[in-house]
Amino acid sequence: MSVTANVSAFDTSFLGRLGLAAVNPGVSTGLQWQQGDGELLQSYSPADGQLIGSVKTATRQNYEQVIKTAEAAFAVWRMMPAPKRGEIVRQFGEKLRHYKADLGKLVSYEMGKSLQEGMGEVQEMIDICDFAVGLSRQLYGLTIHSERARHRMYEQWHPLGIAGIITSFNFPVAVWSWNTAIAWVCGDVCVWKPSEKTPLSAVACQKILGEVLQENQLPEGISCLVVGDYRVGEFLSTDERVPLVSATGSTRMGKIVGQTVAARLGKYLLELGGNNAIIVTANADLKLTVIGSVFGAVGTCGQRCTTTRRLIIHESIYDAVKQRLAEAYGQLKIGNPLNPANHVGPLIDTDAVNMYLHALEEVKKAGGRMVVEGGVLKGDAYASGCYVKPCIVEVDAQYDVVKRETFAPILYLMKYKTIDEAIALQNEVPQGLSSAIMTTNLREAELFLSHEGSDCGIANVNIGTSGAEIGGAFGGEKETGGGRESGSDAWKAYMRRQTNTINYGTDLPLAQGIEFNI
């Protein structure tokens, strides 16, 4: 493992090209921008500790103005045919292609993920726009045979209204786009509450989108931005004018949102914590295993919901896998994320560093044995205090710390004897997002994918736990929340289902053979 000098000074002209200023308005209805009446929220880069910019946050009054604008926009937007809404999404995707380099840099600089991952996140936005354009012509219902003569039954889908979107810092723009691109083609309008840790990335996205709305002379309110703290999330969760709240973040936050929205019988879509494992069988391809495990464990400095946190390794190859992993970690380059040579950037802030250190202390006290030592990097090149070393620890699967999600690059290793034992170890944690098995044995792979296997929303064979494609529905079970976003039929969460029966005969027969003669 090596560390590289930070790039303390670099060209920040991309911030101006994205329309960002020293102080940015935190309330937008797509076309109009307003300085929030709340506090000044400052965004510091974990890469070098420098102030990137500030945002004036929203108050309840600002929020109320946004919701009223969104309600008016929905009345117009839902009347536009879905393929025409798809055309707007297509144009947004083209804008993202134009701004990809600049937006990718901003994501990397504000959040701390590597430049490649920042660019990849914007590419994910482009991909979901492409997916949504096709979807705009495929919002299918069903035709159902009626038990009554000369009757036809079918189902159709209608827009819900306002979709409230709460996103987290680790994917500051992609997760918003997963929700928004799909919600738009479904006829919904969106109100976005981004993470207060990455507000500038959200402001930049809204400014890019504003160009599309202006060029098409669309009304305000189709996409709104409300920057603020947890109170804005509370506004959305308690607001009966917001029929759907999609929230991404911690399980603790998700439980609060879910309970609050359910109390008013609203809809919620939750994407919460992950404690993801890879089972490495005696039949694994070790080259694939090392690549998938290392990227899964250290990508985004361990701050993905799909980060690989546990390796469950067959006892016959345990030592060989451990040695290869240690060698691979020795080749990692840690440093400024805007330097393309670096694999690992910083954690989001010093609070995250403290959680990392606390988890290491706890696992060592429990008896964990360090394979690759961790620690905080010191020196002028790491003045932000957010750079840590990815580490590997041998553990007992029953340690409490192993069953919790620590948003940091800590990889836990454990042994198993039988495939049934390995699956049980994987499934015994409260979270259920992503999982994988490394094997060339067909029976092991199929068992893992069967109802006796992984209990996660995502289960992979011979790839890691990270790197989901937008074509599949993304989400997990148990404390991950049960929500599904992005591809497949996840669009149904953003619409309301309606069953219709049409009688084109001259009689009125009742269902179930009931007679009612008058």
The one catalytic residue in 117, 271, 444, 479 is 271
Surface-to-core class of residue 125, CB atoms within 10 Å of its CB (0-12 exposed, 13-18 middle, 19+ buried):
buried
User: Is 58 within 8 Å of 35 (Cβ atoms)?
Assistant: no
CA atoms of 94 and 109, how far apart (whole Å): 23
The one catalytic residue in 186, 190, 224, 305 is 305
User: Is 464 within 8 Å of 308 (Cβ atoms)?
Assistant: yes
Concerning whether 301 is annotated as a catalytic residue, the answer is no
CA atoms of 424 and 407, how far apart (whole Å): 23
DSSP 2: E
Q: Residue 139 contacts by C-beta under 8 Å, 6 or more apart in sequence?
A: 82, 157, 185, 186, 491, 495
Q: Position 62: which residue type? A: N
CA atoms of 31 and 221, how far apart (whole Å): 8
Beta strands in 433-476 (DSSP E): 434-438, 458-461, 473-474
Pair of tokens at residue 388: 């840590």
Q: Could you please report the per-residue DSSP string of 155-212?
A: EEEEE-SEEEEE--SSSTTHHHHHHHHHHHHTT-EEEEE--TTSHHHHHHHHHHHHHH
CA atoms of 305 and 273, how far apart (whole Å): 6
Concerning whether 305 is annotated as a catalytic residue, the answer is yes
Pair of tokens at residue 66: 């946004």
**Which residues carry out catalysis?**
271, 305
